[in-house]
Amino acid sequence: MTGTVLCFGEMLLRLAAPDRGHLFQEARLDAHFGGAEANVAVALARLGEPAAVITTLPHGSLGDAALESVRAAGVDVARVKRTDGRLGLYFLSPPSGPRGAHIVYDRLDSSFAVAPSDAYDWPALLQGIDWLHLSGIIPAIAPEAARLSLDAIAAAKAAGVQVSFDGNFRASMWARWCVDPQQILVDHVAGADLLFGSHRDISLLLGEDFAGDTPDARRRACEAAFVRFPSLTCIASTARRVIDADTHELSARVDRRDAAFETETILVTQIVDRIGTGDAFAAGVLSRLDEGCEAAAHCGLAMAALKHATAGDHSRTTRADLAAFTGAPADVRR
């Protein structure tokens, strides 16, 4: 394991249409708590790895329940801030057959979004931490949130804490306030040691088109990113081909400056929930990064694949599940 990972970001309540229906087609919605960074912390903790989360949650029953959803998984929540305000929401129409998923956000002026720049005492919060994990979702919230995440990265670098950054590009969120977020994202990646991002993310960062249809093409994109960002030591990514809502092809790769490994493609079938699979992948990579590219890529792929079988944003995969994973349809374990 790479050490204790502190995951920083907004937690949300997800309200989803049941049974792969359209939103508000039926009288009920399925509720789950999530948030990209908190999802990573939960996935790590389920594996028995030390993980902590920092966020701002509102006082009241919704904030209490969100907090308990990560605490119950074994995540350290001692750094979570509580204030007055509201919890952000997002609404999900799940995919069905040829119809893709659709997400609508309702997170304006949430407790996390309006937290002032001095809400977090980073030198104190980073004590005992080996990795800070955050994502491109934070700066997409608002200009103030972008400054907040840059402050967190700067504090981590000053404290000798390694930074893991997931691109997690959210076009609908950026469109509210920034028509061209390239430079903001470049500023974030410039402070990262580990980037979770594909050739598409690298194309956005560098303003240059990179193909990603072959391992060699994906390697060329990573090499260009390593040249542009001297602090980057590792890039991890997945390649996905959607056949339909129930069937995807998935592979994973991990690139270092002097080495790379790409897994074989596996078939993921009978998909229950795709949301959070990228976060499970990130947790798998982080948990095995110190063992080399091959181990990290295989673990990330297994974590991502298994998350497809779990409803909600959070992974429930344990070390025993990982040990039993083969990439083939599973039989009963007795």
Instruction: Determine the Cα–Cα distance for residues 158 and 303; give it in Å rounded to an integer.
Output: 32
Strand residues in the chain grouped as ranges (E)? 5-8, 12-16, 30-34, 51-54, 56-58, 81-83, 88-93, 102-106, 131-135, 162-166, 194-196, 234-244, 247-256, 259-262, 266-268
Instruction: Determine the Cα–Cα distance for residues 334 and 323; give it in Å rounded to an integer.
Output: 14
Q: Residue 306: CA atoms inside 13 Å, Cβ hemisphere, count?
A: 27
Q: Is 209 a catalytic residue?
A: no
What phi, psi does 220 have (nearest 5°)?
A: -60, -40
Instruction: Using DSSP, state whether 37 is helix, strand or coil.
Output: helix
Closest CA to 221 of 240, 206, 202: 202
Instruction: Determine the Cα–Cα distance for residues 6 and 79; give it in Å rounded to an integer.
Output: 9
Calculated CA dihedral for residues 278, 279, 281, 282, nearest 10 degrees: 120
| Residue 214 CA from chain centroid, whole number | 24
DSSP string, 305-316: HHHTTSSSSS--
Instruction: Determine the Cα–Cα distance for residues 20 and 24; give it in Å rounded to an integer.
Output: 12
Q: Which residue has the tokens 């095995």?
A: 288
Residue type, 135: S
Closest CA to 264 of 302, 235, 233, 292: 302
Q: 273, 279, 313, 321: which is the annotated catalytic residue?
A: 279
Q: Work out the angle between the directed axes of helices 277-288 and 293-307 (0-180°, nearest 10).
A: 150
Residues noted as catalytic:
279
